[in-house]
Amino acid sequence: MPDHQYMTYEDFGRKFFEVAVTEERVGEAIGQIAGDAFEMGPMGQGPGGLAKVTAHVKVQTPRVKRHVGEMITFSIRIPLEIDMVVDLRIDKPRFVVFGEISLRASALAAEPLLLILDVKKPRASDISIHVTSKTLRAEVVRIIGNIDSEIKRFIAAHVAGEIDSPESQQAKVIPVGDMIDESWNGLSADR
């Protein structure tokens, strides 16, 4: 038998997590949860909800930074590009919004042999946006209607809903034991 450098079960488990839970894999899972695009609105804004805001949100590729300590955690940034229209009935100013969602996640182990990516739901304060418009009227509408805050609130609520969806719940749990069984059975069948 060739020479192997043996390790404890505890060291093996830790090494397994460090090899299995990479920035690329987490980025892929978060990308599946976030999707490519979603629609906002129409949402009533301003005095009496007179203005109707609609937006098309394009979700860009997540950027993930892994932090290896006692726990393996991740800082995730998801860039957004938003095309927004505010329907004032007499005018429909357009806005271009660039933003980013900041998420935090942890890699956890669970019984019987599961790897879980625990993604924390964002708050409105975890959303940053930069809004541009082409007219002074649009800027006034944006400020009076408190549109920036509403965009952040809506995006945070949408992402929280996606994190809680059955598809996302399934994507965040990796049944390692089942995968080992499948692999082991595959080896047996090859012999």
- Please, what are the domains in the chain? 9-190 (3.15.10)
- pLDDT, residue 162, reads 86
Work out the burial of residue 147: count CB atoms within 10 Å of its CB; fewer than 13 is exposed, 13-18 middle, 19 or more buried: buried
DSSP codes, 20-55? HS-HHHHHHHHHHHH-SEEEEEEEEESGGG-EEEEE
Q: pTM of the entire structure?
A: 0.80
**CB of 62 within 8 A of CB of 74?**
no
Q: Tell me whether strands 114-119 and 173-175 are parallel, antiparallel or unpaired.
A: antiparallel
Local confidence band at 115 (pLDDT 50, 70, 90 cut-offs) = very high
pLDDT at 152 over 90: no
The confidence score (pLDDT) of residue 186 equals: 67
Q: How confident is the model at residue 191 (pLDDT cuts 50, 70, 90)?
A: low
